[in-house]
Chain A
Amino acid sequence: MATIVKRVVGALLALVGLALTVAGVWLAAELGSSGTAEFTVHPATADPVLIGPDVLNRVDADVVVTATPTAGGSVWMALANPSDANAVVGDSKHVAVTGVSVRDWTLLTTTTGTGTAPELGAADLWRQQDDAKGPVTLTVEQSGAPETLVVKSQAGQIGSLTLTVVDKSWFVESVIAALIGLFLLVVGVVLVTSRRARHPVPVEVPPVPEAPTGTFGPVGAVEGVDGHEPTSALTGDRDDPAVAADTDVGTAAETPSEAPHQAPADSHGSPATQQPHDPEEVTR
């Protein structure tokens, strides 16, 4: 059960890590080391285009908007209080920029209203305005937030509208996200691929020191194999089966009941059993 959970967690980590890595690398590549995000839309309209504070004023950095008219056209661009911009455009037909799409770096737009917009440039509610035959660029500083930017073609149509934001921290965060994703991916893969051993893993223990050859010690030493008495130091031949059985701690621990049976059986095959002795003396 635990292994399954571990593998599921590992798989999730790996998936999240992979997604984070891919997204981080992609974002870092798109933003560049300067952290420049550029969103573009091609409205191809002569109606006013409004970019509200929900797009312009959600970051701390300046937002640079560039409007480019179609060939031979001119464009006018201005900043105003959001309520003023909405009031002057009113219910006339206009394009509203509602957000941005990072996936394809575009501005999301929707068209609302009916009728022709009034002459916008005559109104005295613009904080900043500019017009030109060709591209017009206007920088929105966050100190004036909230603001709405209005773009209108004076001749021709609005060919493209580009919104640029520069934030170096975005590049750094993208790289960090990629690194975190990579870490999660590695951890997840390790968790998924690690296996739990079905059999006990052999563990090497230090060899038992060679005992001096000679005769067995007191019979009392043999009594330890019954599991009820502490085993004394081995003094007999290490090749003796009885001794080997005594040193097999794991086996003794798993099957303590076998020890009493083995000890008497082995003792019959050992040289010591060939010596006449008093059975009562052995069990004493």
Chain B
Amino acid sequence: MTPRPVTTAPSPTTPRALSRLVASTTLLGALVLAGCGTTDALVGLHPAPAEQTAAAPLDTEGATAVAARLLAAKEATVEGDEKAAAAARAEVLTGDALRVANAEAARGATTPEATDLAAPAEPTIVAQSQGRQWPRAILASTLDEATNTQWLHVMVSDKPDQPFRIASSVPMFGGAELPALGAQLAGAPLLDSGEKNGLAASPAEAVEAYAAAIAQPKGKATEVVAADDPFATGLKTAAAAQAKALGKLGTLTQAHDPRLEDAITFRLADGGSVTFALMVRTDSIAVKPKAKELVLPAEYAKLLGKKRVKKSLTLNNLEPIALVLPKTGKGEVIGASDLLVSGRGR
């Protein structure tokens, strides 16, 4: 009396089931294919960031280390003969700075020895050249606490495998200001000193105009650059005093010869420029017939190796200068120094 089981047929394959299978296959395929492209993202891999080439080549820390190393090496005492000293200078200096240092060494001038207690001047990076090309430059400043003088140092690397060397060191005038050169890490473009670079005159023309303007006894007036800075005023005053001292015994002339082959120009943030260049000043004293001879001061006598001259006296000075050329208006020299390096007397 057990009831017979009742059988039911399974539902036949419907379009719905088939579509599920197709969808599953499609999803699986999509996952596999997508997986190939997203593997990197899944494990945290990403493309390397692109290099920002329009920036300063070194970070501030690196540039400061370079500047500190060079300034310390410049002040370091070199043991050995003159040849070794010259080689040591050439490892640290280049361009105008090397010329000044070699002239100083040839003259026998001595720099004050640094004491162990004197802390080396800590450089502050003012700017770096912009971009990845060579030459590259670093502009640093130091404060000479003994004289309360701010110095500007330009350091240059000419080729990839060559280290930076100091190319120019210029003391700033009291109260002088160097306009901003822009964000330090962005870098300041290095300019060709012979090109106008959007300015009224090229930096080279400005230096030449300045050299002509401060000549003595009468300079050539210029609208490019002012000639009333402390350096120019000092030269003018000294020349007037010397001329007065000579009186009818002789005549004094001063000429400044720009040496621009190693000039370095940075672009300022406002579109102007700052140029570090060298001038060679020649002081010429012609002894008048009325004078029997001229007795030289001890400094000149030591340089020339004689105490008197009968016909003429020629003294050569090296003058590193820093000249700011604004976008509009007159340029001005913000720092300069001079060093008597050689002379000749007859």
A positions within 8 Å CB-CB of B? 1-2, 5-6, 8-9, 12-13, 16, 52-54, 56-61, 81-84, 87-88, 90, 118-120, 122-127, 145-146, 167, 169-170, 173, 197, 200-205, 207-208, 210, 238-239, 244, 247-250
Contact in complex: B161, A120 (CB < 8 Å): yes
B290 within 8 Å of A by Cβ?
Answer: no
Contact in complex: B45, A59 (CB < 8 Å): yes
Query: What are the 8 A-B residue pairs with the smallest beta carbon separation, nearest first?
Result: A53-B48, A57-B48, A207-B3, A118-B161, A88-B160, A87-B160, A205-B6, A200-B9
Q: How far is the CA of A16 from the CA of B157 in the complex (A)?
A: 58
Interface string of B32-59 (1 = CB under 8 A from A): 1000000000111111111101000111
Q: How far is the CA of A25 from the CA of B177 in the complex (A)?
A: 68
Which secondary structure characterizes the binding site on chain B?
loop
Contact in complex: B57, A200 (CB < 8 Å): no
B positions within 8 Å CB-CB of A? 1-10, 13, 17-18, 21-22, 24-25, 28, 32, 42-51, 53, 57-59, 62, 66, 132, 134, 157, 160-164
Contact in complex: B49, A57 (CB < 8 Å): yes
Q: Give me 9 A-to-B residue pairs in the complex whose CB atoms sit less than 8 angstroms apart, sorted by A's number.
A: A1-B18, A5-B25, A12-B25, A16-B32, A52-B48, A88-B160, A123-B162, A124-B164, A201-B7
CB-CB under 8 A from B6, the residues of chain A are 203-205, 247-250
Contact in complex: B10, A197 (CB < 8 Å): yes
CB-CB under 8 A from A208, the residues of chain B are 3
Q: How far is the CA of A173 from the CA of B17 in the complex (A)?
A: 34
Shortest CB-to-CB span from A99 to chain B, Å, is 11
Contact in complex: B45, A250 (CB < 8 Å): no
Contact in complex: B57, A146 (CB < 8 Å): no
CB-CB under 8 A from B1, the residues of chain A are 210, 238-239
Q: How far is the CA of A60 from the CA of B44 in the complex (A)?
A: 7
Contact in complex: B49, A204 (CB < 8 Å): no
Known: A123-B163, A127-B59. A169 touches B44 (CB 8 A): yes
A173's contact among B2, B21, B42, B59, by CB below 8 Å, is which?
A: B42
Contact in complex: A200, B3 (CB < 8 Å): no
Contact in complex: A205, B161 (CB < 8 Å): no
A58's contact among B18, B45, B62, B157, by CB below 8 Å, is which?
A: B45
CB-CB under 8 A from B18, the residues of chain A are 1-2, 5
Q: How far is the CA of A8 from the CA of B22 in the complex (A)?
A: 11
CB-CB under 8 A from B45, the residues of chain A are 58-59
CB-CB under 8 A from A123, the residues of chain B are 157, 160-163
CB-CB under 8 A from A205, the residues of chain B are 5-6
Contact in complex: B4, A244 (CB < 8 Å): yes
Contact in complex: A83, B5 (CB < 8 Å): no
Contact in complex: A203, B157 (CB < 8 Å): no
CB-CB under 8 A from A203, the residues of chain B are 5-8
Shortest CB-to-CB span from A116 to chain B, Å, is 12
Query: Nearest CB to that of A3 among chain B residues?
Result: B13
Q: How far is the CA of A210 from the CA of B3 in the complex (A)?
A: 9
Known: A5-B21, A250-B9. A54 touches B160 (CB 8 A): no
Contact in complex: A146, B49 (CB < 8 Å): yes
Query: Nearest CB to that of B31 among chain A residues?
Result: A16
Q: How far is the CA of A57 from the CA of B24 in the complex (A)?
A: 38
CB-CB under 8 A from B59, the residues of chain A are 127
Q: How far is the CA of A6 from the CA of B23 in the complex (A)?
A: 11
Query: Nearest CB to that of B134 among chain A residues?
Result: A87
Contact in complex: A207, B160 (CB < 8 Å): no
Q: How far is the CA of A6 from the CA of B18 in the complex (A)?
A: 9
Contact in complex: B162, A58 (CB < 8 Å): no
Contact in complex: A145, B57 (CB < 8 Å): no
Q: How far is the CA of A9 from the CA of B17 in the complex (A)?
A: 14
